């Protein structure tokens, strides 16, 4: 499983340009919403293994909006089943997203964590 930091931003395209100028490279961008408008999810990679940053559209004030996220390398159903077998109940069901699928769960300290399964066929 790969760890990913998520940065919530008002303007994904502007943030993408900034982080690319900083030295990260574009790995993935979700398709544009059917209703129009910009992509709401972008993944950038740093130079080292696991050095990834995701940008997520957030229309409200994102403040210091950073979240812990994991990119699963197996189907989410297997991850959820393993968590439940160990006594951990997800906070949400698996849902379809513009980038693939995801669910959330709280860790032992109450932090809400997102677990993603990307569908790279949705790339633009």
Model confidence band, residue 36 (pLDDT cutoffs 50, 70, 90):
low
Q: What percent of the chain has pLDDT over 90?
A: 19
How many Å is the Cα radius of gyration of the chain?
Answer: 15
Residue 81 has what pLDDT?
Answer: 93
Question: Is 50 in a helix, a strand, or coil?
Answer: coil
**In the chain, domain spans:** 2-122
Give percent helix, percent strand, percent coil of the chain, each to the nearest 5. 20, 35, 45
Over the stretch 38-94, which tens digit does the pLDDT of each residue have?
A: 668 889 887 777 778 888 887 776 565 667 777 888 899 999 999 998 888 999 999
Average pLDDT of the residues in 113-123: 79
> Which region holds residue 100: left if phi is over 0, alpha if psi is between -120 and 50, else beta?
left
For 2-122, CATH number out of 3.20.20.140, 3.30.70.1350, 3.10.180.10, 3.20.20.210 equals 3.10.180.10
Ordered strands of the 95-96 beta sheet: 25-29, 41-45, 52-57, 2-9, 66-71, 112-118, 100-106, 95-96
Average pLDDT, the chain: 81
pTM over 0.75: no
Backbone phi, then psi, for 51, in 5-degree steps?
-90, 75
């Amino acid at each position: 499983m790969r760890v990913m930091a998520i940065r919530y931003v008002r303007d994904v395209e502007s943030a993408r340009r900034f982080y690319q100028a900083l030295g990260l490279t574009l790995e993935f961008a979700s398709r544009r919403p059917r209703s129009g408008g910009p992509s709401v999810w972008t993944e950038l990679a740093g130079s080292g293994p696991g050095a990834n940053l995701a940008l997520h559209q957030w229309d409200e004030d994102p403040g210091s909006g950073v979240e812990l996220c994991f990119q699963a390398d197996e189907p989410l159903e297997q991850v959820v089943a393993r968590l439940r077998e160990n006594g951990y109940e997800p906070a949400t069901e698996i849902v379809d997203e513009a980038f693939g699928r995801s669910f959330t769960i709280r860790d032992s300290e109450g932090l809400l964590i997102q677990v993603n399964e990307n569908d790279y066929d949705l790339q633009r």
